[in-house]
Protein backbone atom coordinates (compact mmCIF):
# COMPACT_ATOMS: atom_id res chain seq x y z
CA UNK A 1 0.00 0.00 0.00
CA UNK A 2 1.33 3.44 -0.91
CA UNK A 3 2.87 5.18 2.10
CA UNK A 4 3.02 2.06 4.28
CA UNK A 5 6.78 1.72 4.02
CA UNK A 6 8.49 -0.43 6.70
CA UNK A 7 11.75 1.44 6.09
CA UNK A 8 10.22 4.69 7.36
CA UNK A 9 10.42 5.67 11.02
CA UNK A 10 7.28 5.72 13.15
CA UNK A 11 7.14 9.50 13.11
CA UNK A 12 7.63 9.69 9.34
CA UNK A 13 4.78 7.21 8.92
CA UNK A 14 2.54 9.08 11.35
CA UNK A 15 1.66 11.81 8.85
CA UNK A 16 -0.30 9.36 6.72
CA UNK A 17 -1.16 6.68 9.28
CA UNK A 18 -1.83 8.74 12.37
CA UNK A 19 -5.23 9.47 13.96
CA UNK A 20 -7.86 9.43 11.26
CA UNK A 21 -5.30 8.33 8.68
CA UNK A 22 -5.02 5.39 6.30
CA UNK A 23 -5.57 1.74 6.95
CA UNK A 24 -4.54 -1.53 5.32
CA UNK A 25 -5.74 -5.07 4.73
CA UNK A 26 -4.62 -7.78 7.12
CA UNK A 27 -2.17 -9.09 4.51
CA UNK A 28 -0.68 -5.64 3.91
CA UNK A 29 -0.48 -4.94 7.65
CA UNK A 30 1.20 -8.26 8.46
CA UNK A 31 3.70 -7.79 5.66
CA UNK A 32 4.46 -4.29 6.96
CA UNK A 33 5.05 -5.62 10.50
CA UNK A 34 7.54 -8.25 9.29
CA UNK A 35 9.39 -5.69 7.18
CA UNK A 36 9.39 -3.12 9.98
CA UNK A 37 10.70 -5.60 12.55
CA UNK A 38 13.47 -6.85 10.29
CA UNK A 39 14.50 -3.35 9.26
CA UNK A 40 14.33 -1.75 12.69
CA UNK A 41 16.29 -4.30 14.72
CA UNK A 42 19.23 -6.49 13.86
CA UNK A 43 18.33 -8.45 16.99
CA UNK A 44 15.01 -9.40 15.40
CA UNK A 45 16.86 -10.69 12.34
CA UNK A 46 19.10 -12.86 14.53
CA UNK A 47 16.39 -14.05 16.87
CA UNK A 48 13.99 -14.55 13.96
CA UNK A 49 16.17 -17.42 12.80
CA UNK A 50 15.26 -19.24 15.99
CA UNK A 51 11.53 -18.76 15.62
CA UNK A 52 9.25 -21.44 14.23
CA UNK A 53 8.28 -20.14 10.76
CA UNK A 54 4.60 -20.08 11.70
CA UNK A 55 5.33 -17.61 14.52
CA UNK A 56 7.46 -15.08 12.63
CA UNK A 57 4.49 -12.88 11.66
CA UNK A 58 3.09 -13.05 15.20
CA UNK A 59 6.36 -12.02 16.82
CA UNK A 60 6.80 -9.28 14.22
CA UNK A 61 3.31 -7.95 14.98
CA UNK A 62 4.05 -7.83 18.72
CA UNK A 63 7.46 -6.22 18.15
CA UNK A 64 5.99 -3.59 15.82
CA UNK A 65 3.27 -2.74 18.35
CA UNK A 66 5.90 -2.30 21.07
CA UNK A 67 8.11 -0.11 18.90
CA UNK A 68 5.24 2.06 17.74
CA UNK A 69 3.96 2.58 21.29
CA UNK A 70 7.49 3.30 22.55
CA UNK A 71 8.19 5.83 19.78
CA UNK A 72 4.83 7.55 20.24
CA UNK A 73 5.97 8.20 23.81
CA UNK A 74 9.62 9.02 23.15
CA UNK A 75 9.94 10.64 19.74
CA UNK A 76 8.84 14.15 18.78
CA UNK A 77 5.93 14.53 16.35
CA UNK A 78 7.24 16.64 13.41
CA UNK A 79 3.90 18.46 13.30
CA UNK A 80 4.93 20.32 16.48
CA UNK A 81 7.55 22.28 14.55
CA UNK A 82 11.35 22.55 14.76
CA UNK A 83 11.71 23.66 18.40
CA UNK A 84 8.62 22.59 20.38
CA UNK A 85 8.06 23.31 24.06
CA UNK A 86 8.71 20.24 26.30
CA UNK A 87 5.20 20.50 27.74
CA UNK A 88 3.75 20.45 24.22
CA UNK A 89 5.84 17.37 23.40
CA UNK A 90 4.55 15.49 26.45
CA UNK A 91 0.95 16.56 25.79
CA UNK A 92 1.19 15.38 22.19
CA UNK A 93 2.73 12.07 23.27
CA UNK A 94 -0.14 11.47 25.70
CA UNK A 95 -2.62 12.35 22.96
CA UNK A 96 -1.04 9.85 20.54
CA UNK A 97 -0.78 7.12 23.17
CA UNK A 98 -4.45 7.62 24.03
CA UNK A 99 -5.32 7.20 20.35
CA UNK A 100 -3.16 4.05 20.15
CA UNK A 101 -4.94 2.62 23.21
CA UNK A 102 -8.33 3.23 21.61
CA UNK A 103 -7.11 1.40 18.50
CA UNK A 104 -5.97 -1.51 20.70
CA UNK A 105 -9.37 -1.71 22.40
CA UNK A 106 -11.42 -1.27 19.22
CA UNK A 107 -13.36 -4.24 17.88
CA UNK A 108 -12.28 -3.28 14.37
CA UNK A 109 -9.03 -1.27 14.55
CA UNK A 110 -8.05 0.77 11.52
CA UNK A 111 -4.36 1.42 12.12
CA UNK A 112 -2.12 -1.08 10.28
CA UNK A 113 -0.14 -2.00 13.41
CA UNK A 114 -3.30 -3.00 15.24
CA UNK A 115 -4.74 -4.63 12.13
CA UNK A 116 -1.58 -6.78 12.04
CA UNK A 117 -1.76 -7.52 15.76
CA UNK A 118 -5.41 -8.62 15.89
CA UNK A 119 -4.87 -12.11 14.32
CA UNK A 120 -2.01 -12.70 16.78
CA UNK A 121 -4.19 -11.73 19.74
CA UNK A 122 -6.98 -14.01 18.54
CA UNK A 123 -4.77 -16.95 17.62
CA UNK A 124 -2.91 -17.07 20.95
CA UNK A 125 -5.73 -15.76 23.17
CA UNK A 126 -3.57 -12.85 24.32
CA UNK A 127 -5.19 -10.49 26.84
CA UNK A 128 -5.30 -6.96 25.50
CA UNK A 129 -4.61 -5.84 29.07
CA UNK A 130 -0.96 -6.91 28.72
CA UNK A 131 -0.57 -4.64 25.68
CA UNK A 132 -2.44 -1.91 27.53
CA UNK A 133 0.13 -2.07 30.34
CA UNK A 134 2.87 -1.24 27.85
CA UNK A 135 0.97 1.85 26.75
CA UNK A 136 0.48 2.77 30.42
CA UNK A 137 4.25 2.61 30.94
CA UNK A 138 4.88 5.03 28.08
CA UNK A 139 2.15 7.32 29.44
CA UNK A 140 3.89 7.12 32.81
CA UNK A 141 7.10 8.29 31.15
CA UNK A 142 5.36 11.57 30.31
CA UNK A 143 4.39 12.18 33.93
CA UNK A 144 7.21 10.69 36.04
CA UNK A 145 10.69 12.13 35.47
CA UNK A 146 12.59 10.16 38.13
CA UNK A 147 12.10 7.44 40.74
CA UNK A 148 12.75 7.38 44.47
CA UNK A 149 12.81 3.72 45.52
CA UNK A 150 13.62 0.27 44.13
CA UNK A 151 9.97 -0.75 44.57
CA UNK A 152 8.84 2.24 42.49
CA UNK A 153 11.22 1.21 39.73
CA UNK A 154 9.96 -2.39 39.88
CA UNK A 155 6.41 -1.05 39.62
CA UNK A 156 7.37 0.69 36.40
CA UNK A 157 9.01 -2.48 35.06
CA UNK A 158 5.81 -4.43 35.72
CA UNK A 159 4.21 -2.20 33.09
CA UNK A 160 7.12 -1.57 30.71
CA UNK A 161 8.84 -4.98 30.60
CA UNK A 162 7.03 -7.88 32.26
CA UNK A 163 4.06 -7.89 29.84
CA UNK A 164 6.38 -8.66 26.91
CA UNK A 165 7.64 -11.82 28.59
CA UNK A 166 4.13 -12.91 29.44
CA UNK A 167 3.02 -12.41 25.85
CA UNK A 168 5.95 -14.55 24.67
CA UNK A 169 5.06 -17.29 27.16
CA UNK A 170 1.49 -17.39 25.89
CA UNK A 171 2.69 -17.59 22.30
CA UNK A 172 4.81 -20.55 23.44
CA UNK A 173 1.67 -22.22 24.78
CA UNK A 174 2.17 -21.52 28.50
CA UNK A 175 -1.12 -20.15 29.75
CA UNK A 176 -1.38 -17.66 32.66
CA UNK A 177 -1.35 -19.03 36.23
CA UNK A 178 -5.02 -18.11 36.71
CA UNK A 179 -5.79 -20.61 33.96
CA UNK A 180 -3.13 -23.19 34.86
CA UNK A 181 -1.58 -22.87 38.30
CA UNK A 182 1.36 -25.08 37.33
CA UNK A 183 2.73 -22.24 35.22
CA UNK A 184 3.27 -19.86 38.14
CA UNK A 185 7.00 -20.67 38.25
CA UNK A 186 7.42 -19.79 34.57
CA UNK A 187 5.53 -16.53 35.04
CA UNK A 188 7.66 -15.54 38.03
CA UNK A 189 10.88 -16.41 36.19
CA UNK A 190 9.78 -14.45 33.12
CA UNK A 191 8.94 -11.38 35.19
CA UNK A 192 12.37 -11.59 36.86
CA UNK A 193 14.23 -11.78 33.53
CA UNK A 194 12.19 -9.01 31.90
CA UNK A 195 12.63 -6.71 34.88
CA UNK A 196 16.35 -7.49 34.89
CA UNK A 197 16.62 -6.65 31.19
CA UNK A 198 14.79 -3.35 31.74
CA UNK A 199 16.89 -2.32 34.74
CA UNK A 200 20.08 -3.28 32.87
CA UNK A 201 18.98 -0.96 30.06
CA UNK A 202 18.27 1.85 32.54
CA UNK A 203 21.72 1.52 34.13
CA UNK A 204 23.37 1.34 30.70
CA UNK A 205 21.56 4.41 29.34
CA UNK A 206 21.70 6.79 32.31
CA UNK A 207 23.38 9.55 30.34
CA UNK A 208 21.10 9.30 27.30
CA UNK A 209 17.94 9.22 29.44
CA UNK A 210 19.08 12.26 31.41
CA UNK A 211 20.34 14.38 28.50
CA UNK A 212 17.87 13.43 25.75
CA UNK A 213 14.73 12.66 27.73
CA UNK A 214 15.09 14.41 31.09
CA UNK A 215 14.44 11.13 32.88
CA UNK A 216 16.35 9.25 35.57
CA UNK A 217 15.38 5.67 36.34
CA UNK A 218 18.00 5.14 39.07
CA UNK A 219 16.03 5.30 42.35
CA UNK A 220 17.47 8.23 44.28
CA UNK A 221 16.81 6.81 47.76
CA UNK A 222 18.76 3.68 46.83
CA UNK A 223 21.73 5.23 45.02
CA UNK A 224 22.16 8.18 47.40
CA UNK A 225 22.36 11.03 44.91
CA UNK A 226 19.91 13.47 43.34
CA UNK A 227 19.07 14.37 39.75
CA UNK A 228 20.67 17.82 40.08
CA UNK A 229 23.91 16.15 41.19
CA UNK A 230 23.85 13.87 38.16
CA UNK A 231 23.51 16.88 35.88
CA UNK A 232 26.44 18.57 37.56
CA UNK A 233 28.60 15.43 37.36
CA UNK A 234 28.01 15.02 33.62
CA UNK A 235 30.71 17.59 32.89
CA UNK A 236 33.16 16.39 35.55
CA UNK A 237 34.09 12.88 34.40
CA UNK A 238 37.43 13.01 36.23
CA UNK A 239 36.08 14.29 39.52
CA UNK A 240 37.07 11.48 41.94
CA UNK A 241 34.41 12.37 44.50
CA UNK A 242 31.63 12.30 41.89
CA UNK A 243 32.89 9.01 40.41
CA UNK A 244 33.13 7.30 43.79
CA UNK A 245 29.65 8.42 44.86
CA UNK A 246 28.10 7.39 41.53
CA UNK A 247 29.83 4.00 41.40
CA UNK A 248 29.01 3.19 45.03
CA UNK A 249 25.38 4.06 44.36
CA UNK A 250 25.02 2.05 41.15
CA UNK A 251 26.93 -1.10 42.13
CA UNK A 252 24.22 -2.40 44.52
CA UNK A 253 21.67 -1.98 41.71
CA UNK A 254 23.89 -4.09 39.46
CA UNK A 255 24.07 -6.78 42.14
CA UNK A 256 20.30 -6.76 42.61
CA UNK A 257 19.81 -7.03 38.88
CA UNK A 258 22.19 -9.99 38.69
CA UNK A 259 20.02 -11.64 41.33
CA UNK A 260 16.95 -11.18 39.12
CA UNK A 261 18.71 -12.92 36.22
CA UNK A 262 19.58 -15.78 38.60
CA UNK A 263 15.92 -16.05 39.66
CA UNK A 264 14.90 -16.58 36.02
CA UNK A 265 17.71 -18.98 35.20
CA UNK A 266 15.55 -22.05 34.60
CA UNK A 267 13.06 -20.37 32.28
CA UNK A 268 14.60 -21.33 28.89
CA UNK A 269 14.44 -25.02 29.78
CA UNK A 270 10.94 -24.58 31.20
CA UNK A 271 9.73 -23.03 27.93
CA UNK A 272 11.72 -25.39 25.73
CA UNK A 273 12.10 -25.55 21.97
CA UNK A 274 12.89 -22.62 19.75
CA UNK A 275 11.22 -20.02 21.94
CA UNK A 276 13.07 -21.35 24.98
CA UNK A 277 16.35 -20.91 23.09
CA UNK A 278 15.30 -17.36 22.14
CA UNK A 279 14.50 -16.55 25.79
CA UNK A 280 17.90 -17.91 26.76
CA UNK A 281 19.63 -15.69 24.21
CA UNK A 282 17.84 -12.60 25.49
CA UNK A 283 18.84 -13.38 29.08
CA UNK A 284 22.44 -14.06 28.03
CA UNK A 285 22.53 -10.77 26.17
CA UNK A 286 21.29 -8.91 29.24
CA UNK A 287 23.81 -10.62 31.48
CA UNK A 288 26.58 -9.82 29.01
CA UNK A 289 25.60 -6.13 29.11
CA UNK A 290 25.54 -6.22 32.90
CA UNK A 291 29.01 -7.76 32.78
CA UNK A 292 30.20 -4.88 30.58
CA UNK A 293 28.75 -2.42 33.10
CA UNK A 294 30.80 -4.09 35.81
CA UNK A 295 33.87 -4.16 33.56
CA UNK A 296 33.85 -0.35 33.22
CA UNK A 297 33.46 0.00 36.98
CA UNK A 298 29.74 0.86 36.82
CA UNK A 299 30.65 4.37 35.60
CA UNK A 300 27.75 4.50 33.14
CA UNK A 301 27.10 8.23 33.59
CA UNK A 302 30.24 8.89 31.53
CA UNK A 303 30.64 5.69 29.48
CA UNK A 304 27.92 3.65 27.77
CA UNK A 305 28.93 -0.03 27.81
CA UNK A 306 28.22 -2.14 24.74
CA UNK A 307 28.44 -5.85 24.05
CA UNK A 308 30.95 -6.40 21.26
CA UNK A 309 30.21 -8.15 17.97
CA UNK A 310 32.21 -11.23 18.94
CA UNK A 311 30.31 -11.52 22.21
CA UNK A 312 26.99 -11.22 20.36
CA UNK A 313 28.12 -13.98 18.00
CA UNK A 314 28.92 -16.24 20.97
CA UNK A 315 25.48 -15.57 22.47
CA UNK A 316 23.80 -16.37 19.15
CA UNK A 317 25.88 -19.54 18.79
CA UNK A 318 24.87 -20.64 22.28
CA UNK A 319 21.23 -20.06 21.43
CA UNK A 320 21.46 -22.18 18.32
CA UNK A 321 23.49 -24.82 20.20
CA UNK A 322 20.90 -25.06 22.96
CA UNK A 323 18.23 -25.57 20.32
CA UNK A 324 20.28 -28.20 18.47
CA UNK A 325 21.30 -30.19 21.54
CA UNK A 326 17.81 -29.90 22.99
CA UNK A 327 16.47 -31.43 19.78
CA UNK A 328 19.12 -34.17 19.99
CA UNK A 329 18.13 -35.01 23.55
CA UNK A 330 14.48 -35.18 22.53
CA UNK A 331 15.38 -37.40 19.61
CA UNK A 332 17.41 -39.77 21.80
CA UNK A 333 14.60 -39.90 24.36
CA UNK A 334 12.08 -40.80 21.67
CA UNK A 335 14.47 -43.36 20.20
CA UNK A 336 15.12 -45.00 23.54
CA UNK A 337 11.44 -45.14 24.24
CA UNK A 338 10.74 -46.86 20.94
CA UNK A 339 13.09 -49.74 21.81
CA UNK A 340 11.42 -50.62 25.05
Kindly report the pTM of this predicted structure.
Answer: 0.90
The contacts of residue 305 (CB under 8 Å, 6+ apart) are: 204, 289, 292, 293, 295, 296
pLDDT at 50: 77
pLDDT at 44: 64
Split at pLDDT 50, 70, 90, the class of 40 is confident
Quote the percentage of the chain above a pLDDT of 70.
87
Task: Find the mean pLDDT for residues 209-215.
Answer: 93
Instruction: Give the mean pLDDT of the chain.
Output: 89
Split at pLDDT 50, 70, 90, the class of 134 is very high
**Nearest-angstrom CA–CA distance, 214 and 207:** 10
CB contact at 8 A, 95 and 36: no
Residue 30 scores a pLDDT above 80: yes
pLDDT in tens, 227-243: 999 999 998 889 999 99
Residue 47 scores a pLDDT above 90: no
Residue 73 scores a pLDDT above 80: yes
pLDDT at 11: 94
SS3 content of the chain, % helix, strand, coil (to 5): 75, 0, 25
pLDDT at 45: 61
Is 194 exposed, middle or buried, given 0-12, 13-18 or 19+ CB atoms closer than 10 A? buried
pLDDT at 330: 42
Residue 333 scores a pLDDT above 80: no
**Nearest-angstrom CA–CA distance, 141 and 53:** 35
Q: Which domains does the chain have, with CATH numbers?
A: 19-143 (1.10.600.10), 145-340 (1.10.600.10)
Task: Find the mean pLDDT for residues 143-157.
Answer: 96
pLDDT in tens, 276-321: 988 998 899 899 999 999 999 999 999 999 876 555 555 455 554 5
Amino acid sequence: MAGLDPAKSVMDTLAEFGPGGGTATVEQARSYAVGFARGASENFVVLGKLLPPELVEDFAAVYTFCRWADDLGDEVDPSLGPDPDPHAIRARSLELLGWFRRELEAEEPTHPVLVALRPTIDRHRLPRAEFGKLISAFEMDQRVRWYQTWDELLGYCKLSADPVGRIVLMMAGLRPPDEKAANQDAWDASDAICTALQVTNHIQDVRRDLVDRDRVYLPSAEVGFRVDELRRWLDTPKDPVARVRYIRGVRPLVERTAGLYATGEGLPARVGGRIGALVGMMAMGGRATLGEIERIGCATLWHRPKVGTSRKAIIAARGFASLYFGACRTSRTNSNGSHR
